[in-house]
Amino acid sequence: MTPQERIEQLTDELNRHNYNYYVLDAPEISDFEFDALLSELEQLEEQHPQFKKPNSPTSRIGGEAVSSFAEVVHSVPMQSLQKAFSRAEIEDFDRRVREVIQNPDYVVEHKIDGLSISIEYVNGELIRASTRGDGITGEDVTENVKTIKTVPLKLKDSIPFLEVRGEVFMSDSSFMRLNEQLETMEQPLFANPRNAAAGSLRQLDSKIAASRGLDIFVFNIQQIDGVDISCHTDGLKFLKEQGFKTILNDRIFKTIDEAYAEIERIGNERDKLYFGIDGAVIKVNDFRAREILGSTAKFPRWAIAYKYPAEKQTTVVRDIKVQVGRTGVLTPLAILDTVRIAGSNVSRATLHNIDYIQEKDIRIGDTVVIEKAGDIIPAVVEVIKEDRSGNETVFEMPSKCPECGADVVREEGEAAMRCTGINCPAQRLRNIIHFVSRNAMDIDGMGPSNIEKLVENGFIENAADLYYMDFDKAAELKGFGAKWAANLKQSIEKSKTNHLYRLIFGLGIRHIGEKAAKSLAKEFKSIDELMNATAMEMACIDDFGMIMASSVEEFFSQKQNIEFIERLKKAGVNCRGDEEESINDNRFSGKTFVLTGTLEKYKRADAGKIIESFGGKTSSSVSKKTDYVLAGAEAGSKLEKAVKLGIQVISEEEFENMIK
């Protein structure tokens, strides 16, 4: 079999397995077998790129990032739907339809809470996908939509032209997993699955979109050539045959009472769904009837969306517990008398932080009103103060971490309170991930999934345990092996000789980035000197403020953090500065550089290291204290500001002359 024939065979086979797994939920092969076939296809396409098919499943991995999305003008406007909030409004819709159409047939569908998109196919091949935008003009998100495994890259039949409309969404489980990852990386969390889906679909880097677990339901044919379809239910059946994922409900409702009963049924099953809905949609089934009814400037007259109200319930706060997140943030949690809301039993609700509690004056024993924000997270929205008996208790946040006993700090200007313990079980995973990262101790073979597996199987509890690990036993874990264990052991041994600043940075002290760690390692020649230094001494370091200094002092005041350092010393990890790296050439002493634009011969980080090796400093912002601005190609606002302030701007060639 030629490479071209094998590529075509693998492409068809993998697309069929994708459809069986993600659309039909009926896999025929194991994940391991699928990954092996996909790996073979990737290698063949790399060796023979001219034979790669447009519908290759490798497209779902994501490609190069783009600088912006192109505009797309919709040939069929993507209108919004008229909204109804009561049965009377639904009955009024039915009356208007019956004034034009005799004996209409209705269909009722879930109103998916996501982001509406258009997908176009020519001769059965996906050519473009675009967001709704304002209904007339959207954005081209083709590469991101290709990463959604439930979107067919090639249809079953070679249809001359087809445009469909669907709703991209994120399942509840994918949403929770994404927010956990963002929390670990100390990035802002998404408020609800809809925002998460929208933010993921509009990522300029399709690899990020591919990692987010997006899904889609296709619910409408916008345009079609070469096939005659007369009604909505036949259209959905046809779309499913072509490989689309739909919520196929072919029940026909002859009366508005029947249709409204279906709306209520869908509302009652919301807690059983794995995706979010914010309503149900009634549509006239017959396409000819839709044409007769037509549209207003804003929405079609043949459909209406019933919006489910945000359900609220009254209950009692029996206690307030504190949970510790992966980044060490303490979050108060209300323990409630169990109530049923939005289809599920609720016995807990987040109280966010102490400011939220004080603002609403929430006390233990209070009667409160709760609702589900975005149908996911229960929240206390109101206190019924007239029900107070006088026996309610004012809540205070703990001064010690409930997980590990370390001090809890709240920094000026922040609502969050944080644990300062490096061995805190709640922060374990995030702390180890940071410790082994490239700019810290740089330990290869320790990706997040491997760390999680080692923690779950009891091999490590914190980063210091890496230096005492039984590598032979770890090699026996599924997916690891002797070669991985040998490489990991070598990488861990190598990390023992790292420069002191890497260790300081790897400790994950709040506010201490790589640059600040270098400043500390330069000022204090050993970890012991640093541990014994006062905040006032550290605050005297150039560009080292009191907040940073206090954070370091607080970190080393914790017993568990000192014990962690002692275990590293005992394992042979370097805890002293490298005297050989002391600066002999101070030509840039007292000089501050700002780097901007794209350099040809250096990465900006490498240029920064050269400047520091000559005793200089780098800064991320231009000010009157800046001495030089090293400007590469496409330098922007920093260059403009430097010119305005009269600061000397140097080229890469001039920089090279300065460092000769």
The catalytic residue among 53, 111, 146, 372 is: 111
Number of other residues whose CB lies within 10 A of the CB of residue 183: 16
- Which residue in this structure is represented by tokens 């990386």? 185
Closest CA to 144 of 66, 235, 86, 83: 66
111 in active site: yes
Tokens of 141: 């998100």
* CA separation for the pair 518, 413 (Å, rounded): 26
Residue 60's φ and ψ, nearest 5 degrees, are -75, -5
Question: Number of helices and strands (H, E) in the chain?
Answer: 24, 21
**Pair 503, 497: CB distance under 8 Å:** no
- Which residues neighbour 540 within 8 Å (Cβ) at sequence distance 6 or greater? none
Name the DSSP class of 188.
P
The torsion region of residue 553 among left (phi > 0), alpha (psi -120 to 50) and beta comes to alpha
**Pair 190, 199: CB distance under 8 Å:** yes
Tokens of 122: 């020519």
Helix (H) or strand (E) holding 656: helix 652-659
Cα distances (Å, whole numbers) of residue 181 to 40, 174, 176, 211: 30, 11, 9, 11
Coil, helix or strand at residue 335: strand
DSSP collapsed to 3 states, 522-577: HHCCEHHHHHHCCHHHHHCCCCCCHHHHHHHHHHCCCHHHHHHHHHHHHHCCCCEC
Closest CA to 8 of 44, 61, 59: 44
Q: Angle between the 172-184 and 193-201 helix axes, to the nearest 10 degrees?
A: 70
Catalytic residues: 111
